[in-house]
Amino acid sequence: MPAFPKKWLWVVLILAFGVPLLQPILPDAVSNYRLFLVSTMIIAAIAVLGLNLLTGFNGQISLGHGAFYAVGAYTAAILMDKLDVPYYATLPAAAVVCFAVGYLFGLPALKLEGHYLALATFALALAVPQILKYKWLEDLTGGVQGIVLSKPEVPFGLPLNEDQWLYYYCLVTMIVLFWAANNMLNSRSGRAMMAIRDHYMAADTMGINTARYKTVTFGISAAYTGIAGALSASAIAFVAPDSFNLFLSIKFLIGLVVGGVGSLTGSVVGGIFYVLVDNSAQAISTFIKNDLGLQFDISAYTIFGVLLILLMYLMPQGIVGGVYVLVRRFRRG
């Protein structure tokens, strides 16, 4: 899939940095709540990017990325809660911890392909919330009660409020991570990753150390998702095992498939999609019930499901792939 055109990238970036500053002029359109919502989209986009590096670019499937997200969130939360580490220092820490966990999980996963790997990662997603509740870890993790944190404070006396600062913090992190991912994918290592995805045996024959690439990709992928988890701990200012249920992992996968497998832009679109559709599905559900006054309950999940099926029919390659096909057809016609 093609890269995002450069000149548009600058437009998007300028908008992303400029619009929140319009808050004094447009207090309703640029409300704190919306900035917070966009921050959660950014966090989701980073998590989906992590999964995309593994699934989209390296061809390994994972149904358990919620586990790495949880490990990242808890790493950040414990560092802030027990050791008073400043919030920005938790990101590299979460990245290192998650890289280690992902790498170690990647070693036995080498022997597993396709469905078997899917099941193994699925088990990981099931196990992590239980482990977080485990009584020996309770002093550290707060058990089922979770850990209450403080929101990131605005540094250097900048004239921003908490939500604006959180937004910029997430945005800058995302840009750095996407830039790094883009560079990696366009390097020798990136090509090796994709070669393994496209034809494992051929890549092996070409002299690529497939085992090492696969485990390291697992580690990097986990690190990306872990950073997203650490950001979410700061944004929500609370972690608890119930926040990291199995459905979280499925949501990342939905974001990945809907946005576009193997596309950096697709990761952003996927992140936006799942936050947006998740919220609007509920809004549509209450709208049907309260405002249209229909006498039957349509649950938010039904609407979410219908939207998903429609999208998969209309854009089987994900939103980015679908838009690309449309643009090409339009140009040709």
Partner 1 sequence: MKSSRRSFVAGASAAALSGKAAFAQNKYEDGVSDTEIRIGNTNPYSGPASAYAAIGKTIDAYFKSVNEAGGINGRKVKFISMDDGYVPSKTVEVVREMVESAKIFALFQPLGTPCNNAIQKYMNTRKVPQLFVATGASKWGDPANFPWTMGYQPDYHTEAVIYARHALATVKDAKIGVLSQNDDYGRDYVGGLKEGLGKEVGRIVRSVTFEATDPTVDSQIIQLKDSGANVFMNFSGPKAAAQGIRKAADLHWKPVHYLNNISASVAAVMKPAGYENAQGIITAAYLMDATDAQWSDHAEMKTWSAWMDKWMPGANKADANHIYAYGVSFLMTETLKRCGSELTRANLMKQAAGFQKFRVPLLLPGINVSTSPTDFYPIQAVQLERFKGETWDLFGDIMHAESS
* Of the residues 4, 17, 32, 171, which one makes contact with partner 1 according to CB under 8 A: 32
Report d(CA 169, CA 161) in Å as an integer.
12
Instruction: Report CA torsion sign: 115, 269, 330, 305.
Output: positive
Which C-beta is closer to partner 1: that of 221 or that of 285? 285
Q: How far is the CB of 299 from partner 1 (least distance, A)?
A: 6
Task: Name the residue among 45, 61, 39 with its Cα closest to residue 255.
Answer: 45
Nearest to 150 by CA among 165, 137, 160, 138: 165
Stretch that binds partner 1, among 17-25, 82-90, 111-119, 144-152 (CB under 8 A): 144-152
238 binds partner 1 (CB under 8 A): yes
Q: Output the smallest distance, CB 266 to partner 1, in A.
A: 23
DSSP class of residue 155 equals P
Q: Which of 104, 282, 298, 323 binds partner 1 (CB under 8 A)?
A: 282
Q: Is 280 in the site for partner 1 (CB under 8 A)?
A: no
Shortest approach of partner 1 to residue 256 CB, angstroms?
A: 19
Q: How far is the CB of 243 from partner 1 (least distance, A)?
A: 4
Given 23, 40, 263, 265, the residue binding partner 1 (CB under 8 A):
40
Among 146, 154, 171, 280, binds partner 1 (CB under 8 A): 146
Using only C-alpha atoms, the chain has a radius of gyration, in whole angstroms, of 20
Q: Are 156 and 27 in contact (CB under 8 A)?
A: no
Which lies closer to partner 1 via its Cβ, residue 226 or residue 241?
241
Among 236, 254, 256, 268, binds partner 1 (CB under 8 A): 236
Binding mask of the shown chain, residues 240 to 259, with x at each position contacting partner 1 by CB under 8 A = xxxx-x-x------------
Counting Cβ atoms within 10 Å, is residue 289 exposed (0-12), middle (13-18) or buried (19+)? Answer: middle
* CA distances, 312 to each of 17, 294, 306, 315 (Å): 32, 28, 10, 5
- CA distances 45 to 54, 127, 166, 187, 251, Å, are 14, 24, 15, 22, 11
161 binds partner 1 (CB under 8 A): no
How far, in Å, are 104, 202, 210, 289 from residue 207 at the CA level?
23, 9, 8, 61
Binding interface with partner 1 (CB under 8 A):
31-33, 36-37, 40, 133, 143-146, 148, 232, 236-238, 240-243, 245, 247, 279, 282, 286, 299-301
